[in-house]
Every structure is written in C-alpha cells, then in structure tokens.
Amino acid sequence: MNNVKVFVLMAGLTGLVMAIGQLVGGGTGAIFGLLMAAGMNLFMYWGSSSMVLRSYNAQVVTAKEAPELYAMVDRLRQRAGLPMPTVAIAPHDQPNAFATGRNPEHSVVCVTEGLMRMMSKDELEGVIAHELAHIKNRDMLLQTIAATMAGAIGNIAQFAMFFGGGDDEDSVNPVVAIAIMIIGPGIAMVIQFAISRQREFKADAVGAEISGRPLSLASALGRLEMGARRIPMQVSPNAAPLAIVNPLAAFNMRGMSKWFSTHPPTEERIAALQSIAAA
C-alpha cells in the first residue's frame, strides 16, 4: 500500500508540474514540466534521504565514533528483524529523531545530540525503536518523498510567479501566477498533513512492541515535546514532519495553524501508549 501511495505522490507531482508548465509556457511548457518532473522523481527516489540529512546538518557516524548509540540501534534492529541502518547524529540541542531512506536496506536513523544528552537509556531505546518502526512499516520513503515534494512544489510555484508574468500574450496571467504560488505549497502541506498523523500512531505502537517498553516511549514523548517547545531548532518546514515530534514547536503555533500540524497531539500518543501498556 505504501508503494502505491509513493506512486500516486510521484504521479501527482508530475501532473502538477505539467499543469504549471502549461500555464507558464503552453504546450512547450507542459513538455518541459514533464521532463522536470521525471528528473525530480528520480532524484526523490534515489537522493531525497541525503537532502533530508543536509536539512538537519546531520553527519553519518560509525560504530567507532558512537559505540553506545550504534550498539543500541544494532540490538533493536535485530529485535525488529531489520538490516542495520545507517546511523547519523544531528548537531542540535533540541531532543529529536527521525528515519529516512528508500527501503530498509537503504535506511537511516538519525538522532540529535540533545536527545542523547537528555534521555535515559530506556527512553532513548523507545525513541530509536519508534524510528525503526517507521523503517519496518516501510513508510519513511513515503514521508521523505512528501517532504522533498513540498520543497519542490514551493520552488516551482515561485518560479511560475517570478518568471511567468511577462507582458506577451503567451505569458501566464499574474493573478494565476499568484494563485499557483499560494495553492502549490498549500497542496504540499495537505499531503504532508494526511500522511504524517496516522503514521506516527502506528510507529508508536510498533516501536513499543520492538522495545517492549511502551511506557518508556510514552515518557520520552512527553520530554521530547517539552524540549521541542523550549529549545528552538532551525530546520526546513518541509523536513519537519519526519521528526518524532514537531521540531518547530518552539515557534509557538497558535490558532488555526494547530489544526494543520503534521504531528498528532503528543498527549494523544502518550494515552495510546499507556493503553497498550495496560492491555
């Protein structure tokens, strides 16, 4: 099912880029849009995880460089029946983590320096188990592509706005260009919103099964939420939905924006984990 969703995302991106190309440059623009979309789809499949790591300024580490972290990931991935992922550390004080990659054989688990400092061993295991659950559920490619797609749509929309508004009769109407600039990123946000929320609940449940300690993950989520609200992290909004809790929470979303958060309420996730522990 996730493979189908990935295909639909890529097909949707192709159609959207072609439509923008048609508006900007007519038939020639549509063909150019098709070629651009093909290149973007190839990049998203093969190189999107590298782009996500760059967004977080993360560096890949070896067993020699981070022995305790590496051993913990190795132990939990064996329990989950997964191949060993690449391990990375992001130089942020905010406690957070994410998984990325196109499949379990080419996956990455990344934690921040703040996470390793602030969490107990059991809580850190719970967080890593959650990220391994994303890999086990095979949903990290879907989310990684959605994140890359969001950035691509924003860039294309800006291109249409600034380069498609000439005076000749074949140019796109400035009103249409503005609409593209506004609606394009909105479409990407809705896509990320729809994908992210349910996958977090599922990863929490599977992560609790991998670690065997649902309450440790629940405790970690509470501390992660407090840390994310207290310690700002500068990261692209497009890559933010990949993290276990919203890394932009410190910027204090208010009002209607909360309804469009790509992360479900942490208190609901904690309650679900407590129910698992009590079962």
Which of the residues are catalytic? 131
Q: DSSP string of 49-107?
A: HHHHHHHTT-EEE-TTTSHHHHHHHHHHHHHHT-PPPEEEEE--SS--EEEEESSGGGE
Residue of 194, 190, 70, 85 whose CA lies nearest to 134: 85
Instruction: Give the C-alpha separation, 277 to 273, whole Å.
Output: 6
Instruction: Give the C-alpha separation, 272 to 252, whole Å.
Output: 25
- Which residues make Cβ contacts (< 8 Å) with residue 184, sequence separation at least 6? 16, 20, 153, 154, 156, 157, 160
Burial class (CB in 10 A: 0-12, 13-18, 19+), 201: middle
